[in-house]
Amino acid sequence: MLPTPQRLSLVLCGAVLLFPPTAAADPGRSVALEVLGWDPVDRKVFVAEHAQEAGLWLPPAISFFLLDAEDPSLPVLLRDPADLAALPGGGDLRVLRRVLEPLVPVEPVGLEVRERHGASGPCAGLPAPEGQPACRAERVELTWHGQVQEVLFTGWGGSDVLGAWAVPGTDCALVVHSYLAPGGVLGLPQESALLFLGPQRPVQERVQASVDPRRMPRIGQY
């Protein structure tokens, strides 16, 4: 498995190579995640979102998982400039990559992925030229360490687990999942991060995240 910066570079370069003629006109959104690292003092796992929309790269968005939160599986997006300024280097990704402790790539042994397909139909907000695939509602359940996380999306399928990383000194692990949103020629990759708490942590009742469905899938923990 490639280190995270190299994996991200390959994803970003691949997107440019695959979609150069249509990227500027494509109204869709693609998202690639970068696993930045782990702050063992504040017990936070940081992730950066690199998004492209209508052919333009947006400023990276930084989020974290707080292991001491009531529900650590829910990501916290840093929106307030004051919160970003409080990060090392004022939220500069180059500084964060250097000061955060790296997560350890692991093989997701025992991770079970189940896909449940729903209804198919035209893709919302996009023209329907002849030959364009229909969009379908999908529910992907990932089970690991006795926990079930759920990703809900409407798109062109392509559900895949891109990698898993262990959080040093804990039983937690981060998993990056991807699917294809409609757009471009082959679809637009959408990545999301899921935090599994490990076999030693108690499993809470189901909690559903309140997030913008345009930015990332809904994530539930059982």
Please give the distance of CA 163 from its chain centroid, rounded to a whole number: 11
Q: Tell me: the pLDDT tens digits for 47-95?
A: 999 999 888 899 999 999 999 999 999 999 998 989 999 999 999 999 9
| Dihedral angle, C-alpha 1, 12, 161, 149, nearest 10 ° | 130
Please give the pLDDT value at position 38: 96
pLDDT band (50, 70, 90) for residue 3: low
Coil, helix or strand at residue 81: helix
Q: Tell me: the pLDDT tens digits for 100-142?
A: 999 999 999 999 999 998 888 888 766 655 667 889 999 999 9
HSE, CB side, 13 Å, CA atoms: give it for residue 18: 15
pTM beyond 0.85, yes or no: no
- Give the residues across from 51 on adjacent strands: 31
Please give the pLDDT value at position 219: 35
173 burial (CB, 10 Å; 0-12 / 13-18 / 19+) is buried
Dihedral sign, Cα of residue 10, residue 13, residue 19, residue 22: positive
Among the residue ranges 11-15, 29-33, 76-80, the one predicted with the least confidence is 11-15
Domain-wise residue ranges, the chain: 4-221
Q: Tell me: the pLDDT tens digits for 142-200?
A: 999 888 999 999 999 999 999 999 999 999 999 999 999 988 888 899 999 999 997 74
Higher local confidence (pLDDT), 39 or 206: 39
pLDDT band (50, 70, 90) for residue 28: confident
Mean pLDDT for all residues in the chain: 80
